[in-house]
Amino acid sequence: MCRNIKTLFNFEPPATDAEIRASAEQFVRKISGSTKPSAANQAVFDKAIEDVTATVSELLATLVTQAPPRDRDVEAAKARARAAVRFGGGQSA
Amino acid at 72: R
Q: Do the beta carbons of residue 84 and residue 76 sit within 8 Å?
A: no
Q: How far is CA 89 from CA 24, 27, 71, in A?
A: 30, 29, 23
Q: Is the pTM of this model over 0.85?
A: no
Tens digits of pLDDT across the chain (93 residues):
456 678 899 998 899 999 999 999 999 999 999 989 999 999 999 999 999 999 999 999 999 999 999 998 898 899 899 989 989 865 554
